[in-house]
Homo-oligomer: A and B are copies of this chain.
């Protein structure tokens, strides 16, 4: 069976780390068919469109998409791409890796972020010169779908349960609906939950990240709290993510375009390659996924290392070392 993979490198170091991830996938004994497409600042400058229709359609029909990064146009690229794959959950592991200086090296968290609504539903109005409004949307349907995914995730991964992070003491109807629905679904599935206010989470995760494991949250809470956890493990540089839908999914490193080093061939491909490992897992190549992850971890520990980790290796050196270790 052939798997169609859309490859959308985007801008900056996306152009370097995405091909590296493709090289790693290509080195495995799996039948992938890769199709590349454009998105981001560069294509927007040429055509006026940060996300050409062809790219949207490709992501909407491929089995999986590997995305790199986009610059100024990031929101105009990634939000529609998430929609193209009908992604209802953004899976964001935040794990401290060996060889990386972390504020909290014991951090080992996974965020399951609602990926379709909340403030991202994006109904905004400028009512008067003085007043602008945004309608934040929460549905039981989306909350339930996320919760069902979370229950499976917890059961498959042998986690003890999950924490619901929200702000239902202020957003009583919307986050109230979210929290109740998620807790109810967990209960139906025999999955244990606890809950924490998102502001209290921000304090407590700094004090002791081992208090938490799997964290389920609304869209913006997941955005901010997972980026906070990224700070605790030493930055966005090594973190992968998955935007999962019912029939397809999109994988992206959490880092941006790194304009300061873009084009120099020295970007760390680890996050893109770890995103490829999430792709393998999504397509149920669990052994291959584990092998890629181990190869990345060994390379982080034993080198070669790129500049961000104090080494002087190039992207290609690191990629080749990972491929050799598969």
Contacts and interface: CB of A to CB of B under 8 A. Distances in A.
Interface in A199-226: 199-200, 202-207, 220, 223-225
Contact of A134 (B124, B173, B224): B173
Interface residues on A, range: 35 or more
Contact of A140 (B124, B125, B130, B225): B130
Contact of A167 (B133, B205, B220, B234): B220
A119 B139 contact: no
Interface string A128-164: 0111111111111100000000000000000000000
Contacts of A234: 207
In the complex, the count of this chain's copies comes to 2
Contacts of A220: 167, 170
Contacts of A122: 170
A227 interface: yes
A163 B136 CA distance: 26
Given A103-B207, A174-B124, A134 B132 contact: no
12 contacts: A75-B169, A103-B103, A103-B104, A122-B170, A124-B171, A130-B141, A133-B138, A135-B136, A170-B220, A202-B228, A206-B232, A228-B228
